[in-house]
Structure 1
Amino acid sequence: MTKGQEAQPRGHLLIRQYLRTLDQSPGVYRMLGETGEVLYVGKARNLKARVSSYARPSGHSARISRMIAETSSMMFLTTRTEVEALLLEQNLIKQLKPRYNVLMRDDKSFPNILVTGDHPFPQIKKHRGAKKEKGSYYGPFASAGAVNRTLNQLQKVFLLRSCSDATFETRTRPCLLYQIKRCSAPCVGYVDEAGYQELVTDAERFLRGKSTRMQGQLARQMEEAAEAMEFERAAALRDRIRALTQVQSAQGINPKGVTEGDVIALHMEGGQACVQVFFIRANQNWGNRDYYPRTGSGAEAAEVLAGFVGQFYADKEPPRLVLLSHDIEDRDLMAEALSERAGRKVQVVVPQRGERVELVESARRNARESLARRMSETATQARLLNGLAEAFDLDAPPARIEVYDNSHIMGADAVGAMVVAGPEGFIKSQYRKFNIRGDSLTPGDDFGMMKEVLTRRFSRLLKEDPDRQSEAWPDLLLIDGGQGQVSAVHQILVVLGVEDIALIGVAKGVDRDGGKEEFHRIGRSPMALRRGDPVLYFLQRLRDEAHRFAIGTHRAKRAKAVSATPLDEIAGVGATRKRALLAHFGSAKAVSRAGLADLRAVAGISETLAEKIYDHFHERG
């Protein structure tokens, strides 16, 4: 600091200066650190009153005191209402991931069941993502497994088709699902449109929680069929009633008093938190999922739960009822914000008695048990990371390990894969796949593929975070390969200026025995770990996970390439028109040979589009 230059105030002295410019409007404030990083995002009914609470030199918790001491500047944004401020706060937290905020770390979308609405014989299937397809959506379900189990049950009871429209159109005889009584075979006319629609209606009643009344209707229909001596129909109805009974008895939680709701329970221990969410829809348990939010350097239970709820519903439609294990600050405001997001009334309740309390206690017990398992696994992981650092002379146990692998068949459909592991195990939300783009690569050139993957990965990191401040930077790279592969990767890192990242290559021993891996490092002789060493098993598991992910990515890419047709390249020919063309002509090759008049005859193909398709295959000017 030069003479005459005064130090810039920080902490509560800095915050006090902002009070002169603030009024009593609602809004959102951001506390920034010395390098401009966002430390904390908060909302306020009255910005001046809230910020003034940080201007006091004492009376704060240890966490808030640390946050105030690190604050070098602040930013403010006023809103019309406190509800707007709450919604904006949660969006900014998800986007900026401030260190002192509670942060929900797993924000994957939830799957739904879709009953399609653009076909006379609707398909029932799993759906994830934007609800753009026509039809009725039921969900959310906690996981793909919960959806698959429900679909399996629905197939047994309601015999709805799960095949794609393209498969449906080309069937000439029933598939195996008909043989095992999982489908009514509408594809070959074994059930007419009216009969199939009755099955769809029953299935949708079940998904809306009307199964009891539906079971009574099925019983009456079975009796009527038996009296009319329609014994085959009576037997089919009997099988459906039996399957429906098995479905109902297999469900662990079937609350009578909660038609549609989420049960959210929190358990905290040792500075860690687990939030368990039960999904109740149509008076049925549609699965549960646990989350481990970052607790913002020591937040209390009410703040952790409030932060979780706000972020959890930031991109999901809330149900009509949200049951909480702990009360939260401004619970009525949260209910108002969720109601605004859903476009209908949403209740946020902390139950005190009855069935709802039992639901919350069940979720809380699951949260406690899940956190205990996770803490045990984390302790084991910490020992492995310490052992890894000791075995390979690393400066410290790695907080982020990135493992790379390639997969291809003779260079075709080549992909690169990156998996990530840390103190809490595999971090699947951080996995990345890379479609190999290098046209100049020799087929099967693993060195060239790895060079492309690493160059793209670290060039992007350098662009997004040149100062290497974020947690996205790895401490250790693990490469599937020997000395040649390690040297090639090291050269890439040198060119990019990040050669200080530890690098280990894992190669099978001379006889390719799974217990005799050799480990290669720059400037060191190859080494091996003794059989039975937990660190050896840990490294094998990391390598095998990268291999599994790479192969799965490659297979998906190859399957997509196999199902692709030249029709995919024509603008204006989407999935529906593609199906219509293939159904009309039998194959893409036949479409390519068709004349203009034939193309115009296909349902849904206009004269303009017919000309475009014809020109695409005949290069007509």
Structure 2
Amino acid sequence: MRLGHEVIRDYIRRLADKPGVYRMLDQKGDVLYVGKARSLRKRVASYAKPVGHSARIARMISATASMMFLTTETETEALLLEQNLIKQLKPRFNVLLRDDKSFPSILLTGDHPFPRIAKHRGLRKEKGRYFGPFAGAGAVNRTINQLQKAFLLRTCSEPMFESRTRPCLLHQIRRCSAPCVGLIGEAEYGALVEDAALFLSGKSTRVQEALAREMGEAAAAMEFERAAALRDRIRALTAVQASQGVNPEGVEEADVVALWQEGGHASVQVFFIRANQNWGNRAYFPRAGAGIDAGEILEAFLGQFYGNKTPARAILLSHPPDNADLLAEALSAQLGRRVEIAVPQRGEKARLVEQAARNAREALARRMAESASQAALLDGVAEAFGLEGPPERIEVYDNSHIMGAHAVGAMIVAGPEGFVKSQYRKFNIKGTDLTPGDDFGMMREVLTRRFARLAREEGEGKGETWPDLVLIDGGPGQVAAARAALEELGIEDVAIVGVAKGVDRDAGKEEFHRPGRPPMALGHRDPVLYFVQRLRDEAHRFAIGAHRAKRAAQTRATPLDEVPGVGAARKRALLAHFGSAKAVARAGLADLKAAPGISDALAEAIHGFFHGER
């Protein structure tokens, strides 16, 4: 098969002089690179030249066996399509943003006389006012905690609010004004909501001045208990401001993005400035090899980062990105108003970028130190278990159940960069022929499902998701079950090691079991032993969490879930009206017809379901 320049040259004469997206593929059909172009013909022609390329681009060209093309109407459309394909296909030679989670916000609901304050993540479908993004769930939780103290807003769900007959504990500890039982009127509660919205919008000084004035008036009137409550609210607002760190006076809304490169690695630090307040920061480590300049990295990062996030009105950068005008146009279209992309050189904005760059540098230094330590540990694992080389991917498996009930299997993944949580998987045990509590059968089922799918997806070519080492939480029986599962699939070249508690099941006395070999142990102070213990403990933690979630979901299930025609909304209405599923089952036909939202036909269906008339 021909490769490289000759293959690329054949496409040039058949390409249109239009914008679009191109894909470069290797001999197996895997995508090597996704790129955009204002003119597909001119861009592809640049790859057909045998010289003048960086080492990275030269390697990519030499591996190219075929190409795919898609034309677009505009270059902006090509940019958006390029970033979508990069996220989906994860090409080896592209800059790739690995962590693409959305950020949480604070929501003040708008569809209730007494709005609640809540943490929100994802699409903004619910009616209300949103404030954010915050850098993480911890920052949101801390802020909501303090806002409860400051404004006494409710956080309970609608069914809980409707069903209360007396104040809950949050009212007792002065974190809620108890509108559910009428201890505060709608107008007075609405004023608290507006104060909270003002504070979250950056008008904190006005709110604190008003509270200070009320506190002084209460003290002058010798209403010392009310004055003390107002003092506590002021303290809570001060705590929110302190937790948000540096609050720039001259920057109302901006995302501050700074890049630091070193040794073929890159770190990007993002600060979120909203309402003149710093709402936290997040570090990213995009996959970018040596020889990629800062402009290309930032263009790829911004395109992927804002794929599922709302951009700020201003984006302040440490380096000018490639195609800055094109990025600004695409982000403006996404936001529905103008987005400014700038590289500030002086003043408060430049200081914010400098602070973000310093954090990016420090985060990359910590990550590189951790990577060096991780590499040494992986070398130790290879030596201890007789592997050909340090493992690039370790998969650890564990099961969790109670006497066979709510059984789940769990897989965690680790590699040169530590735990890869995006690759974790849980398996609901489905085997109907398993004896309850059969750990060996459960492990056999989990590994069969995992590797059968892996073989279907990757075939004989073992890609990035094929493990070099499989660790099993268990002894020789578990290892034998794992080996049998893989042999049935024709897989014999994956190393399997069982980690079993040793004498008296003490941590530190673990025995390691390998197929066809006697048990072995590692030194009590061996760093590899501690590393394997961490891997096993992480798998155990993940398995128990999955088991508890499954058990909790089944515990919350009610007989109403099985009634035809009763969905989530009608189930809530029935529970709110009757108080429990048992009361619904015992209710007479007339009572069911009187329930809100229940038609006569549905009432008859529910009554028939619980009284044997199905």
Bin of the TM-score, shorter chain as denominator length: over 0.9
1:320 to 301, 313, 318: 313
Deviations 1:408-450, CA, capped at 9 Å, x for gaps: 1111211111110000111111111112222332221111211
- The answer on whether the counterparts of 1:99 and 1:296 sit within 8 Å (CA) in structure 2 is no
Partner of 2:148: 155
Structure-2 change in CA distance of 1:607 and 1:544 (3 Å): same
Aligned to 2:523, what secondary structure does the other structure show? Answer: coil
Q: Is 1:293 aligned to 2:286, yes or no?
A: yes
Partner of 1:3: none
What is the deviation of 1:226?
A: 5.0
2:525 to 521, 532, 539: 532
2:336 to 338, 343, 361: 343
Gaps of 5+ in 2: none
Partner of 1:381: 374
Partner of 2:172: 179
Gaps of 5+ in 1: 1-7
Deviations 1:102-149, CA, capped at 9 Å, x for gaps: 001111222222223333322222222333333333222211111111
Q: Is 1:594 aligned to 2:594, yes or no?
A: no
- The answer on whether the counterparts of 2:244 and 2:280 sit within 8 Å (CA) in structure 1 is no
What is the deviation of 1:480?
A: 0.4
- The answer on whether the counterparts of 2:17 and 2:42 sit within 8 Å (CA) in structure 1 is yes
Q: Is 1:52 aligned to 2:45, yes or no?
A: yes
Paired letter, 1:199: L
In structure 2, distance between residues paired with 1:542 and 1:249: 37
2:596 to 586, 594, 603: 603
Aligned to 2:422, what secondary structure does the other structure show? Answer: helix
- The answer on whether the counterparts of 1:33 and 1:73 sit within 8 Å (CA) in structure 2 is yes
- The answer on whether the counterparts of 1:103 and 1:296 sit within 8 Å (CA) in structure 2 is no
What is the deviation of 1:608?
A: 4.1
1:84 to 65, 69, 77: 77
Partner of 2:161: 168
Paired letter, 1:79: T
**Higher mean C-alpha deviation, range 289-298 or range 98-107:** 289-298
In structure 2, distance between residues paired with 1:286 and 1:570: 46
What is the deviation of 1:492?
A: 0.1
Partner of 1:494: 487
**Higher mean C-alpha deviation, range 66-75 or range 84-93:** 66-75
2:442 to 443, 449, 467: 449
What is the deviation of 1:463?
A: 1.6
Partner of 2:98: 105
Q: Is 1:24 aligned to 2:17, yes or no?
A: yes
Partner of 2:468: 475
In structure 2, distance between residues paired with 1:359 and 1:600: 63
Partner of 1:5: none
Paired letter, 1:99: R
- The answer on whether the counterparts of 2:257 and 2:315 sit within 8 Å (CA) in structure 1 is yes
In structure 1, distance between residues paired with 2:71 and 2:608: 56
Deviations 1:262-311, CA, capped at 9 Å, x for gaps: 11111111111111111122221221111111105642221111111111
- The answer on whether the counterparts of 1:174 and 1:187 sit within 8 Å (CA) in structure 2 is yes
Aligned to 1:494, what secondary structure does the other structure show? Answer: helix
Structure-2 change in CA distance of 1:75 and 1:387 (3 Å): same
Paired letter, 1:288: N
Structure-2 change in CA distance of 1:79 and 1:545 (3 Å): same
In structure 1, distance between residues paired with 2:128 and 2:352: 32
What is the deviation of 1:540?
A: 0.5
In structure 2, distance between residues paired with 1:403 and 1:480: 8
Mapping for residues 413-452 of structure 1, pairs under 5 Å: 413-452=406-445
Partner of 1:269: 262
Q: Is 1:546 aligned to 2:550, yes or no?
A: no
Partner of 1:211: 204
2:190 to 173, 177, 197: 197
Partner of 1:331: 324
Paired letter, 1:457: R
Deviations 1:428-479, CA, capped at 9 Å, x for gaps: 1111111222233222111121122111111111121113342111110000
Structure-2 change in CA distance of 1:608 and 1:310 (3 Å): farther
**Higher mean C-alpha deviation, range 184-193 or range 153-162:** 184-193
Structure-2 change in CA distance of 1:200 and 1:520 (3 Å): same
**Higher mean C-alpha deviation, range 150-159 or range 290-299:** 290-299
In structure 2, distance between residues paired with 1:319 and 1:613: 51
Q: Is 1:280 aligned to 2:273, yes or no?
A: yes
**Structural RMSD (CA):** 1.9
- The answer on whether the counterparts of 1:100 and 1:297 sit within 8 Å (CA) in structure 2 is no
In structure 1, distance between residues paired with 2:601 and 2:130: 35
In structure 1, distance between residues paired with 2:276 and 2:559: 47
**Higher mean C-alpha deviation, range 213-222 or range 30-39:** 213-222
1:569 to 562, 575, 587: 562
In structure 2, distance between residues paired with 1:139 and 1:467: 47
Partner of 2:247: 254
In structure 2, distance between residues paired with 1:132 and 1:411: 40
Paired letter, 1:139: G
What is the deviation of 1:230?
A: 5.0
- The answer on whether the counterparts of 1:99 and 1:297 sit within 8 Å (CA) in structure 2 is no
Structure-2 change in CA distance of 1:318 and 1:183 (3 Å): same
In structure 2, distance between residues paired with 1:402 and 1:592: 47
In structure 2, distance between residues paired with 1:256 and 1:608: 62
Partner of 1:369: 362
What is the deviation of 1:229?
A: 5.8
Identity of aligned residues (%): 71
- The answer on whether the counterparts of 1:403 and 1:542 sit within 8 Å (CA) in structure 2 is yes
What is the deviation of 1:351?
A: 1.2
1:309 to 286, 302, 306: 302
In structure 1, distance between residues paired with 2:466 and 2:10: 36
Q: Is 1:401 aligned to 2:385, yes or no?
A: no
